[in-house]
């Protein structure tokens, strides 16, 4: 069995800097400093995240796949789409082994560009990535280092790799209200125990009460949130996929985004205040299929 290891790849060949943690039982996680974007998570030797074959890994735009970090704005607005955190270079603080796991810490602070933007506040984001044989935990501690109160929305834009979208279901959303961004409707109520996707979907499920799971091929990945209220469900389907230069025309068949965040309302921090939000992804045997 390969030993656990921590590797900092400095990009001397022109590639972007990244950190690779190798854990037990074929587990690993790769984090690019550009956006602190996780581009790969393997558990039991199997890749669990989707990364488009056309994803730009040169820093020219946000990475199409993995787990991009959205802050301080979800979606369109005064800032560029999904804010600036996913397209800034983060600082790698350290990485250590702890028991059966591996953990890495990253940090992002304001700079001249962000202070000159429409969101001109001083802040620190402390990002912790914790890997075990069957779990991946991603946590951000948001810290207001300004003299003024500020508000934001934030989200972890997780792209899950699935064998076939037609055989994939998402559970844990039944009876939850959602906004359908494709249909332009609000306050719809999810009636299905097992949500499936067969078209372009872009939904914001609000105040989700419990654990949500992505189930496929005899196993599932459970998503446990803390201090994030909402879940975004997204798949571009064929027509939208064809419009994206960094996404393969047929790749919608092998991915689904189930994204944890607080986006339907804002988080507000007073000067000196902090809040930590995150998710734990866990690979488990599948429950009885509803398909």
As annotated, the active-site residues are 157, 259
Two structure tokens written together for 105: 């810490």
Residue 52, Cα to own-chain centre: how many angstroms?
Answer: 15
Question: Collapsing DSSP states into helix, strand and coil, what is residue 86?
Answer: helix
Dig out the tokens for 137 from the structure.
């935990």
Nearest alpha-carbon partner for 83 in 149, 184, 139, 155:
155
| Distance from C-alpha of 229 to C-alpha of 262, rounded to nearest angstrom | 5
Residue whose entry in the numeric block shows the structure tokens 């055989």: 167
Cα–Cα separations (whole angstroms), residue 193 to 45, 183, 231, 256, 289: 30, 21, 15, 17, 11
Length of the chain: 291
N- to C-terminal Cα separation, the chain: 37
């Amino acid at each position: 069995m390969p030993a656990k290891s921590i590797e900092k790849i400095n990009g001397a060949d022109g590639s972007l800097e990244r950190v690779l943690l190798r854990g037990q039982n074929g587990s690993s996680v790769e984090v690019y400093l550009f956006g602190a974007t996780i581009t790969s998570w393997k558990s039991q030797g199997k890749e669990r995240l989707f990364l488009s074959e056309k994803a730009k890994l040169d820093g020219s735009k946000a990475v199409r796949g993995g787990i991009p970090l959205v802050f301080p704005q979800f979606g369109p607005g005064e800032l560029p789409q999904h804010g600036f955190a996913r397209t800034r270079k983060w600082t790698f603080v350290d990485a250590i082994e702890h028991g059966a796991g591996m953990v890495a810490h990253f940090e992002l602070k304001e700079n001249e560009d962000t202070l000159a933007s429409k969101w001109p506040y001083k802040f620190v984001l402390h990002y912790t990535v914790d890997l075990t044989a069957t779990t991946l935990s991603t946590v951000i501690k948001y810290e207001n280092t300004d003299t003024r109160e500020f508000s934001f929305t934030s989200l972890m834009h997780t792209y899950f790799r699935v064998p076939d979208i037609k055989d994939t279901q998402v559970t844990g959303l039944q009876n939850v209200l959602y906004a359908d961004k494709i249909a332009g409707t609000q306050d719809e109520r999810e009636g299905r125990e097992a949500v499936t996707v067969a078209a372009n979907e872009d939904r914001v499920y609000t105040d989700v009460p419990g654990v949500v799971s992505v189930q496929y091929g005899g196993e599932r990945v459970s998503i446990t949130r803390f201090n994030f209220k909402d879940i975004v469900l997204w798949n571009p389907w064929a027509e939208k996929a064809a419009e994206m230069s960094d996404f393969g025309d047929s790749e919608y068949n092998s991915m689904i985004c189930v994204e944890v965040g607080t986006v339907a309302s804002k988080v507000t921090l007073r000067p000196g205040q902090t809040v930590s939000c995150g998710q734990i992804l866990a690979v488990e045997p599948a429950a009885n299929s509803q398909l």
